Amino acid sequence: MEKELVVVIDYGGQYNQLVARRVRESNVYCEIYSYKTDPDKIWALNPKGIILTGGPNSCYAEGAPGAPKELFEKGIPVLGLCYGAQMMMHVLGGRVETPEVGEYGKTEIHYDGSSVLFKGLPEKSVCWMSHFDRIAELAEGFCITAHTADCPVAACENAGKGLYALQFHPEVLHTVNGTEMIRRFVIEVCGCKGDWRMDSFVEEQIALIREKVGRGKVLCALSGGVDSSVAAVLLSRAVGNQLTCVFVDHGLLRKNEGDEVEEVFGPDGPYQLNFIRVNAKDRYYSKLAGVTEPEKKRKIIGEEFIRVFEEEAKKIGAVDFLVQGTIYPDVVESGLGGESAVIKSHHNVGGLPEYVDFKEIIEPLRDLFKDEVRKAGLELGIPGKLVYRQPFPGPGLGIRIIGEITEKKVRIVQEADAIYREEIEKAVIAWQKSVSSKAAQKSEFLRPAEGEGLSGQLPPWMPDQYFAVLTNVRSVGVMGDERTYDYAVALRAVQTIDFMTAESAQIPFSVLQTVMSRIINEVKGVNRVFYDLTSKPPGTIEYE
């Protein structure tokens, strides 16, 4: 059965992944393509609908990204967002101007309930605006379906032709009912069935992998993180003992994590995997000595990762395929699959050397977002504790140590991070004990979740990801009446739904004080602790 596809055409907007993610929340498969993609390639995909993202340009400026008029005449429903909406009007004969007043942030908006996108929703609501241009004159056949105090055309449509334009960003959670608007576009306007689910994805991938691999041997890069664990179990289900999993302990893991990975996936674990552990700590530290530039560190870690795999492949004989746990945000943030600027190279994407001694790389999770990977893991029967553990980057603590990596610095960040996670877990358990089950069920802020040894109802401040970072800042302090000149540790904790946008978690100050006191007293080489309040954007969740 051919799966339904909605195409997101990226014009450089910061929310392009969010747009695709919202489509998938409607159980409709979605892919991101640059506006520079050959239109014939887009038509060949036979999309059920097309969504045009926002972007930083003015559509009437010379050389501005555009779209062929044919895009709006193919009979394929099109939804334009922000720049995409303005560009749609511009191409079809409307007019876009720069007003004296722009709109940024949460804005009160009024909807026309006759539109299929807004029917039954509150007439007055809140949306997220971020624009300096606006639609001044509609193209022929369009009518206004929403407005704000400063934007007369906050939404418009030509329903007969399936063309919809929203000046605001429905993909951002600050837009009330925004996800529902996108769902209505893909289901009611595009006619998608919404039958793309993880159970069918898993079965489809298993069949595809079996066909691709045949009788070949497969080597899997197993880190013990969510992505590589799901990829490993998926491959094991598909090809059985043709799979060998190599766990490279590069000395940049969290405290005791190497032994924990071996306990789960090793010969005494629940999975029938050919498991090899390579202790490569000294090799990595030597390669990284004196290196301070983040991208160079990533490249070194990525290349050494492949070199170790090549060596292990030679030991076990001919290997045909290498498996990696690349996921969709890795691809997009590395500058592939869209138009947005490269944010960072990824261990599984941009960090690979040009020469790889395998026939082909298999990336079974390449099209999935993080929460979809977790769903796939549950479908495969992987325990929730492993599926819901915190994300951990491929380069490990190498990008949580600012500046040069040394064994001493690794020890510092490992110890600080272990204390941080231990105190968060203690605080959550204490909170659970203090709140009765009946009261917990009443709170609209509570959410069921698992991970890091935690389960059940979690407090409203519970972060989705939290870790310690060793900064490159050293400062004077006083400990035991003596002068110190030691490092500062930064604590990072964010709450997020999709890991593409995030807000700093409001961890109770008393918990942070306890963490600070323990780190300074127990971790040699640290005399200051900071708490990072930065959201994403403008920051990223990781530091490098």
- Tokens 């979809």 locate to 372
Residue 30 annotated to the active site:
no
Give the amino acid at 335. Answer: G
Strands (E) located in 159-200: 163-166
Strands (E) located in 222-279: 243-249, 274-279
Q: Is 399 left (phi over 0), alpha (psi -120 to 50) or beta?
A: alpha
Question: Is residue 180 classed as helix, strand or coil in its secondary structure?
Answer: helix
Question: Is residue 504 classed as helix, strand or coil in its secondary structure?
Answer: strand
Residue 156 annotated to the active site:
no
Instruction: Find residue 526's DSSP bridge partners.
Output: 487
Closest of 65, 378, 66 to residue 202, by C-alpha:
378
Active-site option among 59, 82, 151, 156: 82
Residue 312 annotated to the active site:
no
Between helix 226-239 and helix 257-265 the angle, nearest 10°, is: 20
Active-site option among 4, 103, 171, 544: 171
Is the torsion defined by CA of 257, 248, 398, 538 positive or negative? negative
DSSP state letter for 188? I
CA dist 531 and 463 (Å) reads: 13
CA dist 540 and 500 (Å) reads: 9
Active-site option among 131, 156, 157, 169: 169
Q: Are 163 and 135 in contact (CB under 8 A)?
A: no
**Which of the residues are catalytic?**
82, 169, 171
